[in-house]
């Protein structure tokens, strides 16, 4: 349902993403693994329209979105949790989530979101900046889910987060995938986390996909090698 073909993008003179092809099914969780500087964020920014693509195509359910502005892609069903979370520190938890809600929700947060992340309900009146890193990550995910996406892009969600909360996030993502038939594409350097949630694995190396396998056949040693060079 989400299809990327021959995607290229970059900054100024330099091309960073080269010929990326990716086809993700409804309700599938795909991991894009790669170490620092290999192009994960650049790829996600291109998928989200924050960075223009230089070639290729991006489609959702057959609809081409590669030329659309970011807000139009959100309306077409793509949501993005950026690296570093980027929540609004001076707004409350509730207000942060509300920024993701469509106008017709009239500011009412679906029960389901609080059920997924109970800590956000408990802390709804607190400023986002006062939450722990893990709680901020949960908030960033809830804010993205508030847009009611078909495809959720998560850029290194476990970065700087303690192991117990990483487990909670893995559990919530699997739950929401089922609940909403959500497709998830997650970039990561932490293999234990993606082994927990992903159906399929890719490795990105210098802006190219160099490895692909399904959960059943995944070669953890090979992926680890790419991550540790
Ligand atoms: N704004 C920018 N202008 C120019 N080059 C950039 C910019 N952002 C990233 N790059 C370069 O693009 C390449 C890919 O960077 P990117 O941030 O996509 O990697 P990443 O896989 O997300 O790394 P990390 O795991 O550290 O987040 C790197 O060589 C980086 O130096
Ligand atoms: Mg990055």
Q: What does the pLDDT read at residue 104?
A: 87
Is residue 155 a contact partner of residue 188, using CB atoms and an 8 Å limit? no
Q: What does the pLDDT read at residue 116?
A: 93
What is the separation of C-alpha 117 from the centre of its chain, rounded to a whole number of angstroms? Answer: 17
Indicate which residue's Cα is closest to atom 24 of ligand 1.
36
Q: What does the pLDDT read at residue 103?
A: 84
Please indicate whether residue 206, judged by its CB atom, sits closer than 6 Å to ligand 1.
no
Q: What does the pLDDT read at residue 134?
A: 93
Neighbours of 169 (CB within 10 A): 21
Indicate which residue's Cα is closest to atom 5 of ligand 1.
11
Strands 183-188 and 151-155: parallel
Is pLDDT above 80 for 229? no
- Confidence tier at 218 by pLDDT (50, 70, 90): very high
* Residues paired with residue 60 on neighbouring β-strands, in sequence order: 2, 63
- Whole-angstrom CA distances from 137 to 27, 58, 134, 226 are 21, 26, 5, 26
Strands 78-81 and 151-155: parallel
- What atom in ligand 1 is closest to the CA of residue 83? 27
Compute the distance from residue 77 Cα to the ligand 1 centre, in Å: 25
Q: What does the pLDDT read at residue 110?
A: 92
pLDDT (tens digit per residue) in 8-62: 999 999 999 999 999 999 999 999 999 999 999 999 999 999 999 999 999 999 9
What's the whole-model pTM score? 0.96
Please indicate whether residue 42, judged by its CB atom, sits closer than 6 Å to ligand 1.
yes
pLDDT (tens digit per residue) in 60-104: 999 999 999 999 999 999 999 999 999 999 999 999 999 999 888
Phi first, then psi: what are they for 111, rounded to 5°? -50, -40
pLDDT (tens digit per residue) in 126-182: 999 999 999 999 999 999 999 999 999 999 999 999 999 999 999 999 999 999 999
**Concatenated DSSP letters of 105-145:** GTTPPPHHHHHH-HHHHHTTTSBGGGS-HHHHHHHHHHHHH
Compute the distance from residue 207 Cα to the ligand 1 centre, in Å: 10
Q: Rounded to 5, what percent of the chain is helix, strand, coil?
A: 40, 30, 35
Please indicate whether residue 148, judged by its CB atom, sits closer than 6 Å to ligand 1.
no
Is residue 89 a contact partner of residue 128, using CB atoms and an 8 Å limit? yes
Q: What does the pLDDT read at residue 8?
A: 98
* Residues paired with residue 135 on neighbouring β-strands, in sequence order: none
Could you say which DSSP state residue 37 is in? T
Compute the distance from residue 159 Cα to the ligand 1 centre, in Å: 16
Q: At what angle do helices 163-180 and 133-145 cross, to 10 degrees?
A: 10
- What atom in ligand 1 is closest to the CA of residue 39? 18
Compute the distance from residue 44 Cα to the ligand 2 centre, in Å: 9
Structural domains in the chain? 2-228 (3.40.50.300)
Q: Where are the alpha helices (DSSP H) in 157-219?
A: 163-180, 191-197
Which ligand sits closest to the CA of 37? Answer: 1
């Amino acid at each position: 349902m989400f299809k990327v073909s021959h995607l290229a993008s970059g900054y100024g003179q330099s091309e960073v993403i080269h010929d990326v092809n990716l086809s993700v099914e409804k309700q599938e969780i795909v991991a894009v693994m790669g170490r620092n500087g290999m192009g994960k964020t650049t790829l996600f920014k291109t998928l989200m329209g924050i960075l223009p693509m230089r070639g290729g195509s991006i489609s959702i359910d057959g609809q081409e979105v590669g030329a659309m502005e970011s807000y139009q892609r959100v309306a077409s069903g793509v949501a993005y949790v950026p690296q570093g979370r980027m929540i609004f520190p001076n707004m409350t938890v509730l207000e942060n989530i509300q920024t993701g809600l469509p106008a017709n929700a009239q500011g009412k947060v679906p029960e389901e979101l609080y059920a997924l992340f109970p800590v956000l309900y408990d802390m709804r009146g607190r400023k986002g900046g006062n939450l722990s890193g893990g709680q901020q990550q949960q908030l960033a995910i809830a804010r993205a889910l508030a847009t009611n996406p078909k495809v959720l892009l998560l850029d290194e969600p476990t970065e700087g987060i303690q192991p117990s909360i990483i487990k909670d996030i893995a559990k919530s993502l699997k739950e929401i995938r089922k609940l909403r038939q959500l497709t998830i594409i997650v970039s990561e350097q932490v293999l234990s986390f993606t082994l927990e949630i992903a159906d399929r694995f890719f490795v990105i190396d210098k802006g190219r996909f160099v490895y692909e396998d399904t959960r059943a056949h995944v070669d953890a040693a090979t992926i680890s090698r790419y991550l540790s060079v």
